[in-house]
C-alpha cells in the first residue's frame, strides 16, 4: 500500500475520532524490519543482520481541544480512542491491563520525560500501517519510533531514539533488545552489535534472489509469548557460567570464544534446557558472522544454508517456534529455487522468512494453496509477499 493511501486512511480515522476541526500538522513514518539472521541474539550481546522494509507505520499528528491530553486512534484496529495525560505518566509501567497502541504511547511519554525531553500534549494521533501485526516485523518498534517523531520537536540522535523506543517497549511489558529499533531508525540493511547496541550499514547485492515472507496464520505477541521467559533463562545461564568457569561474561554471546573448552562440561552446571538455550545463542552468533561473510561474497546459497540452520536451532534449542510455522517452513523448502527458510521474529507463531529466486516467487506462492487448505490464514491472497529494503524512520512536512 502506498504512503499516500496510508496517509488518507490515517486522516479519515483522525477526523472521525477527533472531529472535523482536527487537522494534520505533521507526519511521521517508521518502517518495520526483517531479521535476516540472528534470532534472539541481540539481547544476549550477539550480532544480527537485519533490514528495514518497505512496510511502514504512518502517524498523523494534529491539535485537539484538551491541551493536557494525548489521544490516539488506529485506523486498522476497531478499538476505541486511547488517551493519556503526560503529567500522570511519570515512572509509568504497564500493569498488563492496558491494551492497544496507547500502551506504547504511554511508554514513549514516560521514557521521554525520564530524559527531560519536552513532550507535545493537546494532540491527536492517527495511525495507519501495512506492517502486519504478529508477523515478526516489529510493528511495535515502528509505532514507538513514529510516536517519538510525532511527540517531540527537536532532532533526537539515532542511538538515543533507539534507547527511548526500547525503553518504551520495556515499560509496556515487552523485554526486547535494541535491534528492531536500530533497523527501523537506520533504514536499509544493518549489522547490529548486541554488545553495545551499535550498528553499521551494509549493502547486500541480492542479484537474482529476494527475501519473502509467508503467513503461518498463527498470531503472536511479544507481551504474551515465551520471549520474556527466554530473556530470564539466558540471564540465569550467563550468571551461572560466569561463576562456574570464572569468566568475564558481560553477556551470553561473550561465551563464543570459550565455547570449545566450556561445552564438554557445561552439563555439570546447567540443566539440559539451559544448555540448549546457551547452545543456540553461541551457534547463532557464529552463524551471523558467517552470514556476513557470505553476503559480502554474494554467496546466497551459503546464506540460505545458514538460514536453515538458524531455523532448526531456534525451533529445537531455543524452543521458540510453533508446529504450524515449522510445517510451513518444511513445505516451502520443498520448492525449487528456495535457498533457505526459517521461522522469524520472537517466536510462538508469526511468519516464515524465505530466500528464493525472484523468478520462482509465483511458483512458491501457488504451492502454498495446498498448505493453506489444511492451515487456513485470514487472507490467503496476501499470505506470501516479497519485501524490499527501505529508508529509516523520518518526519514528513505537510
Q: What is the pLDDT of residues 177-201, one digit of tens each?
A: 899 999 999 999 999 999 999 999 9
- Number of domains, the chain: 2
Taking only the tens place, the pLDDT of each residue in 318-362 is: 999 999 999 999 999 999 999 999 998 777 888 999 999 999 999
Q: Is residue 374 part of a domain?
A: yes
Nearest to 187 by CA among 396, 1, 392: 392
Say whether both 156 and 222 belong to one domain: no
Distance (Å, whole) CA 318 – CA 310? 10
pLDDT on residue 353: 96
Distance (Å, whole) CA 47 – CA 37? 9
Q: What is the mean pLDDT of residues 107-116?
A: 97
Taking only the tens place, the pLDDT of each residue in 82-101 is: 999 999 999 999 987 777 89
Please give the sequence-ordered ranges of beta strands (E in DSSP) within 38-159, or none if there are none.
Answer: 47-63, 70-74, 82-84, 123-129
Q: Is residue 220 part of a domain?
A: yes
Cβ-based burial of 12 (10 A; exposed 0-12, middle 13-18, buried ≥19) = middle
Distance (Å, whole) CA 135 – CA 371? 18
Say whether both 185 and 166 belong to one domain: yes
Nearest to 165 by CA among 104, 210, 216: 104
Say whether both 143 and 282 belong to one domain: no
Say whether both 336 and 254 belong to one domain: yes
End of a domain among 204, 230, 263?
204
Q: Is residue 393 part of a domain?
A: no
Taking only the tens place, the pLDDT of each residue in 60-74 is: 999 999 999 999 999
Say whether both 27 and 175 belong to one domain: yes
Q: Is residue 282 part of a domain?
A: yes
Q: What is the mean pLDDT of residues 376-383?
A: 87
- Give the CATH number, domain containing residue 24: 3.30.230.10
Q: Is residue 167 part of a domain?
A: yes
Say whether both 223 and 314 belong to one domain: yes
Say whether both 158 and 57 belong to one domain: yes
Domain span including residue 59:
3-204
Q: Regarding beta strands 189-193 and 123-129, do their DSSP bridges make them parallel or antiparallel, or are they unpaired? A: unpaired
Q: What is the pTM of this model?
A: 0.89
DSSP 153-167: -S---HHHHHHHHHH
91 belongs to the catalytic site:
no
Q: In which band, very low, low, confident or very high, does the pLDDT at 225 lie, cut at 50, 70 and 90? A: low
End of a domain among 204, 238, 254?
204
Of 42, 130, 180, 193, the active-site residue reads 180
Amino acid at each position: 500500500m502506498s504512503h499516500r493511501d496510508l496517509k488518507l486512511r490515517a486522516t479519515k480515522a483522525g477526523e472521525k475520532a477527533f472531529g472535523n476541526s482536527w487537522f494534520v500538522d505533521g507526519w511521521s513514518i517508521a518502517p518495520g524490519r526483517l531479521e535476516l539472521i540472528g534470532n534472539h541474539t541481540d539481547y544476549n550481546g550477539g550480532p544480527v543482520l537485519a533490514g528495514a522494509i518497505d512496510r511502514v507505520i504512518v502517524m498523523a499528528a494534529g491539535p485537539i481541544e484538551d491541551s493536557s491530553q494525548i489521544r490516539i486512534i488506529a485506523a486498522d484496529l476497531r478499538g476505541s480512542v486511547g488517551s493519556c495525560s503526560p503529567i500522570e505518566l511519570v515512572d509509568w509501567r504497564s500493569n498488563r491491563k492496558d491494551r492497544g497502541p496507547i500502551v506504547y504511547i504511554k511508554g514513549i511519554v514516560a521514557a521521554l520525560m525520564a530524559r527531560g525531553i519536552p513532550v507535545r500534549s493537546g494532540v491527536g494521533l492517527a495511525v495507519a500501517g501495512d506492517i502486519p501485526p504478529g508477523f515478526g516485523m516489529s510493528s511495535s518498534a515502528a509505532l514507538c519510533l513514529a510516536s517519538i517523531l510525532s511527540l517531540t520537536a527537536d532532532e533526537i540522535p539515532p542511538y538515543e531514539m533507539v534507547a527511548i523506543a526500547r525503553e518504551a517497549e520495556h515499560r509496556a511489558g515487552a523485554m526486547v533488545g535494541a535491534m528492531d529499533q536500530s533497523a527501523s531508525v537506520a533504514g536499509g540493511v544493518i549489522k547490529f552489535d548486541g554488545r553495545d547496541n551499535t550498528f553499521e550499514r551494509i549493502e547486500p547485492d541480492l542479484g537474482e534472489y529476494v527475501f519473502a515472507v509467508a503467513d503461518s496464520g498463527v498470531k503472536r505477541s511479544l507481551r504474551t509469548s515465551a520471549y520474556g521467559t527466554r530473556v530470564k533463562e539466558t540471564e540465569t545461564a550467563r550468571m551461572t557460567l560466569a561463576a562456574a568457569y570464572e569468566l568475564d561474561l558481560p553477556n551470553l554471546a561473550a561465551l563464543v570464544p570459550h565455547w570449545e573448552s566450556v561445552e564438554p562440561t557445561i552439563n555439570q552446571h546447567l540443566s539440559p534446557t539451559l544448555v540448549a538455550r546457551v547452545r543456540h545463542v553461541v551457534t547463532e552468533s557464529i552463524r551471523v558472522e558467517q552470514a556476513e561473510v557470505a553476503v559480502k561474497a554474494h554467496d546466497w546459497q551459503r546464506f540460505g544454508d545458514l538460514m536453515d540452520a538458524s531455523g532448526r536451532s531456534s525451533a529445537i534449542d531455543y524452543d521458540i517456534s510453533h508446529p504450524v510455522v515449522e510445517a510451513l517452513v518444511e513445505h516451502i523448502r520443498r520448492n525449487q529455487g528456495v535457498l533457505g527458510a526459517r521461522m522469524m521474529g520472537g517466536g510462538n507463531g508469526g511468519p516464515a522468512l524465505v530466500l528464493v529466486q525472484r523468478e520462482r516467487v509465483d511458483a512458491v506462492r501457488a504451492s502454498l494453496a495446498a498448505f493453506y487448505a489444511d492451515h487456513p490464514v485470514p487472507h490467503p491472497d496476501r499470505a506470501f509477499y516479497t519485501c524490499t529494503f527501505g529508508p529509516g524512520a523520518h518526519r514528513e512536512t505537510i
